[in-house]
Structure 1
Amino acid sequence: MRKQSVRAIAMQAIVAALYVVLTWAVAPLSFGAVQFRFSEIMILLVFVDKRYGPAMILACALANCFSPLGIVDVIFGTAATFCAVECIKRSKSLLIATLWPTLFCVIIGVELNVVSDLPFLFTTFTIMLGEFVVVTCIGYPIFKALMKNEALLKLIKLD
């Protein structure tokens, strides 16, 4: 296992903390059957540098600690994020990378169906739609521009 620099660890901690704060700041939009979790854009940092993966997984778990569904959301939400992170790490295309978080919203749909007795298909669709809007429609153009800015890219890479 490769040693990480203090800077890399600090950057991961900052990213995780920012994700949690952004999620809680708009909490009514971050949880429930219709979600627009704007902090999810940050999952695309994993495309830039795979080492952001653990920070994103931890951030999701921490943000979900105060979800209305409690520990169930910590487990299911973190599982969905873990799956998305693992697929983003292997993606060769930024556009494809943006689609993984949306795909794994199926896990959240199952969670809300089982725990809250919400209709599976409709709930999964609304959660996927929110994730698609945030990560693909908003996050993709932001990260596409970021990837063209060498100075900014160098700043966020964990070298």
Structure 2
Amino acid sequence: MKTNNKVLFMTQAAMIAAIYVVLCLVFEPISYGAIQTRVAEALTVLPFFTPAAIPGLFIGCLIANALGGGILLDVLAGSLTTLAAAYLTWMLRGKSKFLASVPPVVLNAIVIPWVLKFGYGEPLPIPFLMVTVGLGEILTASIMGTVLLCVLARYKGVIFKNTASAA
């Protein structure tokens, strides 16, 4: 990878991480808890365009969870779930753009309820938490994320140029 591509990759990753953190903190009342709608999850479609979004989303989630007062289990499990979802979204990049939000929705709906239940002692049953987390992800990652993806697709060559080989 050329030096310019490395700098571009790191800059994009840092910007994505920063935007993720800011969105979580600005919308803090709805970003955390058993019933959450984390607006920053709209960014989880970005690996569709650039591999820089993979570390960007991971680091952004890690920082946001730590600053949001998350316990260690939440900070680690939530961030690793975001990392896995970002990687899977990157792997789906050659498919339909409407599949880009599937990994974050599915992985978060499966993993996060267990963190809420056993990390925070949430009294609600796991299946209910799966539904609430899943619905929050559908609203943010699927609906808002797909709108973001469609808008950014128009500017793909300008915004995300020269990062395809950065993986």
Q: Select 1:96's aligned residue among 84, 95, 99.
A: 99
Q: Select 1:129's aligned residue among 132, 135, 152.
A: 135
CA displacement 1:60-114 (0-9 Å, x = unmatched): 1011102343222111111210110121011122211111111011111110111
- Which has the higher relative contact order, 1 or 2, with Cα contacts under 8 A spaced 6 or more apart? 2
Aligned residue identity for 2:117? N
Query: Does 2:114 correspond to 1:113?
Result: no
Partner of 1:81: 82
Percentage of pairs with the same residue:
27
Instruction: Give how far 1:2 is off.
Output: 6.0
Asked if the contact 1:51–1:158 (Cα under 8 Å) also holds between the matched residues in 2, the reply is no
Question: SS where residue 20 of structure 1 aligns?
Answer: helix
Matched residues in 2 for 1:120 and 1:68: separation?
Answer: 22
TM (norm. structure 1) is 0.89
List aligned pairs for 1:38-53, cutoff 5 A: 38-53=39-54
Sort the Cα spacing of 1:26 and 1:121 in 2 relative to 1 into closer, same or farther, 3 A.
same
List aligned pairs for 1:56-75, cutoff 5 A: 56-75=57-76
List aligned pairs for 1:28-47, cutoff 5 A: 28-47=29-48
Asked if the contact 2:12–2:56 (Cα under 8 Å) also holds between the matched residues in 1, the reply is no
**Shift >4 Å, 4+ stretches:** none
Q: Select 1:154's aligned residue among 138, 143, 157.
A: 157
